Structure 1
Amino acid sequence: MDQMSTERPRVLLIGSGAQVYREYLLKQTAEHAELWLLEPDPPTWQRPYLVGSSTANTFSPAETVTAVRRLAAEQRIDAVFCYHEGMIVAAAAAAQALGLPGPSVEAVTACRDKARTRELLAGAGVAQPGFALVDDDFDIAQLAQAIPPPWVIKPRSLGASQGVIKVDQPADFAEGLRITRSARQAGMPTDDVVLVEEYVEGGEITVDGYFDGQDFVPLYITRKRLNKAPYFEEMGHTLSGDDEYLTDASLLELMAAAHVALGFRNAISHTEVRITSAGFRLIEVNGRMAGDLVSILVERAMNYNSAWYALELALGRNPGRPAPTGRCCGIRFLRPDEPCVVDSIRFDAERARAAGLADVSFQPMVQPGTELWLPPDNYVARYALLIADGDSAEECNQKLDVASELVELASHPIGQPAAAASAR
């Protein structure tokens, strides 16, 4: 511990993620630790934040453990950290192999397998949607009797709402099942056995925090903005530093019960919860921090670095709980109405200043020439993002609504020449 107090910890980062979404979190992490990156490809944009790197198939727990043991024989490793959904099982196996703090392989695997999550939560009596596993031998009449439609069909082990679809009636179930089974995500397993859940109506929040062995400690909560059904594309979040649910006893009891049932501790989790007329219903628990640039919202609304909390847990320490603030920050993602090829993306900054939106941040997310496909061909077709601060979620959303109208996407249909370009 004395050495740790005089030296920055050497942290093995398993996977870095996509630059547009994860560079900010990587930068935050590097402010508190020396980072050694382990992932399949050599670093490019990540280099400024690293002290070194190695390559290995970090989607494979066995190959990751082999590589990590080799690294540990050559240098000090104080902690293992991972925020990449497809690599969290491998990261847990690596920490376990080195005898370092972290969630167990069994707990992380239970989070990755949504069917296993449901079974464990059901056994513990945690409030959640009704569910069933469906294979080729299912009987639609029996399914409708056990779980009346509408349904949500989802793959067992994919992320980012890939392949998740709402089906309103039995006549549409076969097509929904086909769409779910066709979904693919790099490095993640696919299975013809899918999860069918009761659709629960209500607003959706995400809760990031950790279980300290006795209580669930919430760090931040976002209010999620979803695109229209039948898909569950996430189009934005607002984060309030004093969100009422940060101290909601029934929500915190639900979170604690879920984490006990899954055995998940020693790391930040990212949980999706629906707020229904009958109370909270847990949708899923992810064994890693939030994505979607939520770390920026945390820093701007709550004045702290969420990566520090994650690193403290990875080092076996209890980071405590951040103080509430009266600020809010929101992010909005923009996507086209139809599949297209991007020609240009422009934000009218002059009109934004005239509208009192000089503090709204704008960032393109793709380059000209990018093909943007919509679900079910692609579930993340974002071309730009906007970030706004305010004293409330309402103020942030009002700013983002106005700013969204000031972004112009020039594009042309896929398969047609650029001369067919139009502004959207």
Structure 2
Amino acid sequence: MRIDHETSGVRTVHILMIECNPNGIAGIANALELGHDVTLVSVDPDFYLGVSPLAEAAYAHPKCQVIKSEQAFSIEDLTALARNLHAEKPVHGVTTYSEYHTVHTAAVAEALGLPGMSVEGARNARHKHLTRTTLDGTGVRQPRFAHVADPAEVEAAVREIGFPCVVKPSDGTASLHVLHLKDEQDLRDYLAELADVVDYGRGVVRIPDILIEEFVTGELISVESCVLGNGEVVNLGLTDRPLSGFPHFIEMGATYFSGHPLQDELFATTTRVLNELGVDFGFIHTEYLLSADGPVLCEVNGRLIGGIVPSLMQITSGVDPYLEVIRQALGERPELPFPGETTAGGHWFGAPVAGTVDAIGFDAIEELPGFHSALAYKKPGTPVTRLSRSNFDWIGHIIFTGADRAEVNKRCEAALDGIDLRMKVDVAR
């Protein structure tokens, strides 16, 4: 079914966006440009004004309604709000680009009788301990793991798995509070830090569940997929994801491509994983570690991949995945962004020390071969932390194209030295 919009002379559709992410504001902007009505529900709408250059214009658009709701993370309250919105102006599609809100989106879509992922499938992907326990015994290669719901049980679970290990909140994202533990001191420090974490900001309350997993070495790579409305899994392409050093796991780059030697195995495993979990709708991001024994499932994210990767997908395919997420939520069959002949990739960068941004310039890299674009996330005068703990420490990115991922990664790495980052630093600290 294709739902026409106002610009084609028929009618406007109404999209309910449940939270978003900084780059996903582009999807809202694109929907508004097509003539759609968009309602964004957020605990903190001002957050997006500070992280997206598109947010101010989107909010000011006559077809954009922004609703601030302190209860946006309560599924019961959110569903009631959605029903009221639907009664005032019928909602034709419900979606999100936010990892934190995939279950919420599935529940609201179900309540309104609109296309969406099953709530069970969304929950199995969203909560990492449910991913592990649901797939345990199915033959899917996973790390040895222990799941605890009481922080007091973490020490015993770590000793069961053994050092070195990886510990992570079951409902985290962006590598936040994911840590490599090498010894007892690391464990004590981690437990002390986690005890103070009750939420992830913007109203997102942390559940107590924690996973402890054996440390698996190997390249991190992800499969980008789309599950069509009939449950058919279409695997699109791969994203490489180089990481920073220990103890934190910060993603420092990404290249969207096809043709990896393990691609067939990765695609087949992803199809099996999504079917086993009941993930039956939408764009999906599934991560693996390429161990010596083969791909090991890292995690499943029941939404479009974040960061700069949707832009990379559009560069190589000509298809805007942000807009296809919305089209699928409206009941349409999405166009699929398969990697094309040109490969696109990018690198993030951060500050080497904490301080205040004075200026970020890209003049020296704009004439380099393959340069596509660059973006600073922080305005002059903005305080920033040292790039050290999670993806939230990024302060900008660069994007290059090339014939293959080796050429793209080489171009990105060479360009990092040309970024003109100027900061004011308190030397007394």
Q: CA offset at residue 182 of structure 1? A: 4.0
Q: What amino acid is aligned across from residue 268 of structure 1 in structure 2? A: F
**Secondary structure, in 3 states, of the residue corresponding to 1:231?**
coil
The residue number in structure 2 matching 1:420 is none
Q: Does 1:328 align with 2:343?
A: yes
Taking structure 1 as reference, are residues 390 and 103 closer, same or farther at Cα in structure 2, changes over 3 Å only?
same
Q: CA offset at residue 384 of structure 1? A: 2.2
Q: Does 1:249 align with 2:264?
A: yes
Q: What amino acid is aligned across from residue 36 of structure 1 in structure 2? A: V
Q: What amino acid is aligned across from residue 186 of structure 2 in structure 1? A: D
Q: Does 1:311 align with 2:326?
A: yes
Q: Does 1:286 align with 2:301?
A: yes
Q: CA offset at residue 32 of structure 1? A: 5.3
Q: What amino acid is aligned across from residue 118 of structure 1 in structure 2? A: R
8 Å CA contact 2:316–2:339 kept in 1: the answer is no
Aligned length, in residue pairs: 409
The residue number in structure 2 matching 1:167 is 181
Residues 125-274 of structure 1: pairs in structure 2 closer than 5 A:
125-134=139-148, 135-138=150-153, 140=155, 143-144=158-159, 146-183=160-197, 184-186=199-201, 187-212=203-228, 215-240=232-257, 242-244=258-260, 248-274=263-289
Taking structure 1 as reference, are residues 202 and 78 closer, same or farther at Cα in structure 2, changes over 3 Å only?
same
8 Å CA contact 1:29–1:307 kept in 2: the answer is no
In the alignment, the residues of structure 1 paired with residue 20 and residue 2 of structure 2 have an alpha-carbon distance, to the nearest angstrom, of: 29
**Secondary structure, in 3 states, of the residue corresponding to 1:189?**
coil
Q: CA offset at residue 83 of structure 1? A: 0.9
Match of 2:357 among 339, 342, 347: 342
In the TM superposition, what whole-angstrom CA distance separates every residue of 1:280-306 from its partner, at most 9, and x where no partner exists? 111111121111121110111122111
Q: What amino acid is aligned across from residue 271 of structure 2 in structure 1? A: A
Q: Does 1:16 align with 2:20?
A: yes
In the alignment, the residues of structure 1 paired with residue 266 and residue 390 of structure 2 have an alpha-carbon distance, to the nearest angstrom, of: 33
Q: What amino acid is aligned across from residue 17 of structure 1 in structure 2? A: N
In the alignment, the residues of structure 2 paired with residue 174 and residue 284 of structure 1 have an alpha-carbon distance, to the nearest angstrom, of: 25
The worse-fitting range, judged by mean Cα deviation, of 221-230 and 23-32 is: 23-32
Residues 74-153 of structure 1: pairs in structure 2 closer than 5 A:
74-134=88-148, 135-138=150-153, 140=155, 143-144=158-159, 146-153=160-167
Taking structure 1 as reference, are residues 390 and 2 closer, same or farther at Cα in structure 2, changes over 3 Å only?
closer
**Secondary structure, in 3 states, of the residue corresponding to 1:73?**
helix
Q: What amino acid is aligned across from residue 83 of structure 1 in structure 2? A: Y
Q: CA offset at residue 230 of structure 1? A: 0.8
Taking structure 1 as reference, are residues 139 and 47 closer, same or farther at Cα in structure 2, changes over 3 Å only?
closer
In the TM superposition, what whole-angstrom CA distance separates every residue of 1:121-154 from its partner, at most 9, and x where no partner exists? 214332111111244443857743x423211111
8 Å CA contact 1:270–1:288 kept in 2: the answer is yes
In the alignment, the residues of structure 2 paired with residue 332 and residue 265 of structure 1 have an alpha-carbon distance, to the nearest angstrom, of: 32
8 Å CA contact 1:156–1:194 kept in 2: the answer is yes
8 Å CA contact 1:147–1:198 kept in 2: the answer is yes
Runs ≥4 residues deviating over 6 A? 375-378
In the alignment, the residues of structure 2 paired with residue 76 and residue 113 of structure 1 have an alpha-carbon distance, to the nearest angstrom, of: 31
The residue number in structure 2 matching 1:47 is 59
In the alignment, the residues of structure 1 paired with residue 101 and residue 249 of structure 2 have an alpha-carbon distance, to the nearest angstrom, of: 23
Match of 1:387 among 363, 384, 399: 399
Taking structure 1 as reference, are residues 94 and 357 closer, same or farther at Cα in structure 2, changes over 3 Å only?
same
Superposition TM-score, scaled by structure 1 size: 0.86
Q: Which ranges of structure 1 fall in alignment gaps of 5 or more residues?
A: 418-424
Q: What amino acid is aligned across from residue 339 of structure 1 in structure 2? A: A
The residue number in structure 1 matching 2:49 is none
8 Å CA contact 2:39–2:65 kept in 1: the answer is yes
Q: CA offset at residue 265 of structure 1? A: 1.3
**Secondary structure, in 3 states, of the residue corresponding to 1:342?**
strand
8 Å CA contact 2:166–2:180 kept in 1: the answer is yes
The worse-fitting range, judged by mean Cα deviation, of 290-299 and 301-310 is: 301-310
**Secondary structure, in 3 states, of the residue corresponding to 2:420?**
strand
Taking structure 1 as reference, are residues 362 and 14 closer, same or farther at Cα in structure 2, changes over 3 Å only?
same
In the alignment, the residues of structure 2 paired with residue 352 and residue 324 of structure 1 have an alpha-carbon distance, to the nearest angstrom, of: 24
The worse-fitting range, judged by mean Cα deviation, of 80-89 and 231-240 is: 80-89
In the alignment, the residues of structure 1 paired with residue 142 and residue 61 of structure 2 have an alpha-carbon distance, to the nearest angstrom, of: 40
Q: What amino acid is aligned across from residue 406 of structure 1 in structure 2? A: G
**Secondary structure, in 3 states, of the residue corresponding to 2:340?**
coil
Q: CA offset at residue 169 of structure 1? A: 2.7
Give % identity. Answer: 27
Q: Which ranges of structure 2 fall in alignment gaps of 5 or more residues?
A: 46-54
In the alignment, the residues of structure 2 paired with residue 108 and residue 375 of structure 1 have an alpha-carbon distance, to the nearest angstrom, of: 31
In the alignment, the residues of structure 2 paired with residue 196 and residue 252 of structure 1 have an alpha-carbon distance, to the nearest angstrom, of: 26
The worse-fitting range, judged by mean Cα deviation, of 393-402 and 49-58 is: 49-58
Q: CA offset at residue 189 of structure 1? A: 2.4
Q: What amino acid is aligned across from residue 382 of structure 2 in structure 1? A: T
In the alignment, the residues of structure 2 paired with residue 218 and residue 227 of structure 1 have an alpha-carbon distance, to the nearest angstrom, of: 27
8 Å CA contact 1:210–1:216 kept in 2: the answer is yes
**Secondary structure, in 3 states, of the residue corresponding to 1:253?**
helix
Q: What amino acid is aligned across from residue 36 of structure 2 in structure 1? A: E
Superposition TM-score, scaled by structure 2 size: 0.86
Q: What amino acid is aligned across from residue 140 of structure 2 in structure 1? A: V
The worse-fitting range, judged by mean Cα deviation, of 167-176 and 31-40 is: 31-40
8 Å CA contact 1:103–1:267 kept in 2: the answer is yes
In the alignment, the residues of structure 2 paired with residue 214 and residue 77 of structure 1 have an alpha-carbon distance, to the nearest angstrom, of: 23
8 Å CA contact 1:11–1:33 kept in 2: the answer is no
The worse-fitting range, judged by mean Cα deviation, of 34-43 and 90-99 is: 34-43
Q: CA offset at residue 181 of structure 1? A: 4.2
Residues 59-74 of structure 1: pairs in structure 2 closer than 5 A:
59-74=73-88
Q: CA offset at residue 359 of structure 1? A: 3.0
